[in-house]
Amino acid sequence: MTDFLFRPRRIPRTGDDTPAASLFGYVWRMSGRHQVWICLLAVVVAALTAIPLELQRRIVDEVVKERELGLLWLLAGGYLVVLVVQGAAKYALHMYQSWLSESAIRYNRGHLTRLYERRDSGEAEQHSGEAVSIIGAEVDRLGGFVGEGLSQPMVNGGMLVAMGGYMLVVEPLVAAISMAFIVPQIVLMPLLQSRINRLMERRVTLLRGFGDQLTGLPGAGSDFRHSALPGALDRIYDNRLRTYLWKFGQKAVMNLLSAVAPLSALLVGGIMVIQGETTIGVVVAFISGFERLGTPLRELIAYYRIAAQANVQHKMIARWM
C-alpha cells in the first residue's frame, strides 16, 4: 500500500516530445487504464447516494406509524453501514485521484525541464520567467486535473442522476417542480463560464509576460516606475477584477436557484400532505435530497471551471513546447 501511495506512477515515454492532441488525450496518456478503475470506484460512490433517502422515508413513515423499536434499530443500522461504506469509498477515490495527479505533475515538471535545458542559451535566458511560470504553477494546475478528469463528473453526475431518479419515481410532481430550479443551473453554467475562460487565458498570457519583464530588469539600479512593469501590473489587476465579477455573479445565481429547490419541495409537498396525496416521510426525504443535491451540483460546476482552466493551460503549454 505504501508503494502505491508514495511511489509515483511510472508513465511510459512516447518516444517523441510532441504534446497530446487534446486535454483528455493528455489525461489518458498520464493515467491509462487507471481511469477505468477510478471510474468504477466513482460509480460505486454514486450508486450509494439514493439509499439514505429511502431509509429516511421509511424511518419517518413506517417506524412512526408502526411504533416498532426493532425496525427503527434495523433501519438506523443500515443507514450507518451505508454512510460508512460510502465514506470509505469516497476516501479511496480521493486518494486514488491525488496519486494519479501528483504522478502526472512530477512527470510533466521533469519532462518540461529537459525540453527547456535543450534550448539555445540566449532564448532560454530571454524567456526564463515564462519557463518558471509554466514549470511551476501552470503544470501544477494541469497535472492536478489528471486524477479527476473522468471520475469527478462521473461521481457527481451519477449522484445527481441517482437522487433525481429516486425522487421522480417516488413522487413525480414534487420532483419535477423542484428540478425546474436545477436544470437552469446546468444550462447557464457553460454560458457564464465561457466568458471566464477567455479572461483566464488572458491572465496566463499576462503573468507569463510579467515574469519575463521581471527577470529582464538590469539589476538593483533599475527604475521600476519607468519600466513596463507598472502597466503590466495594472492589466493583471484589471483582468482579475473582471474575472471576480463574472465568477461571483455566476456563484450568486447558482446559489439562489439551489436554495429555491428545497423550498418548492416543502411548499408543494406540504400542500399534498394536507390533501392526503403523499406522506410526511416523502417530504422529509425530498428536502434532505435537495440539500444533498447541492453538493454534487456545486462540485460539477467547479469541475467544469477547472476543466476549462486545464484546457487553457494544456493549449498554452503545448504551444510553448
Farthest CA pair distance, the chain: 86
Q: Which helix (H) or strand (E) holds 26?
A: helix 23-31
**Among residues 163, 150, 160, 309, which one has the least CA distance to residue 243?**
309
Q: Say what the pTM is.
A: 0.71
CATH 1.20.1560.10 correct for 17-320:
yes
Residue, of 272 and 84, whose pLDDT is higher: 84
Q: What is the pLDDT of residues 130-162, one digit of tens each?
A: 666 677 677 887 888 888 888 888 888 888 888
pLDDT at residue 123 above 70? no
Can you spell out the DSSP letters for 189-229? Answer: HHHHHHHHHHHHHHHHHHHHHHHHHHHT---TT--GGGSSH
Please choose, from the candidates 286, 308, 306, the residue with its C-alpha nearest in 3D space to the C-alpha of residue 298: 306
Query: For 22-31, 209-218, 277-286, which range has the lowest pLDDT when averaged over its residues?
Result: 209-218
| Dihedral (Cα; 204, 205, 211, 214), 10-degree rounding | -140
Q: Which amino acid is at 62?
A: E
d(CA 144, CA 309): 11
Query: pLDDT of 213-270, one tens digit each?
Result: 776 665 555 555 666 777 888 888 888 898 888 888 887 887 787 777 777 777 888 8
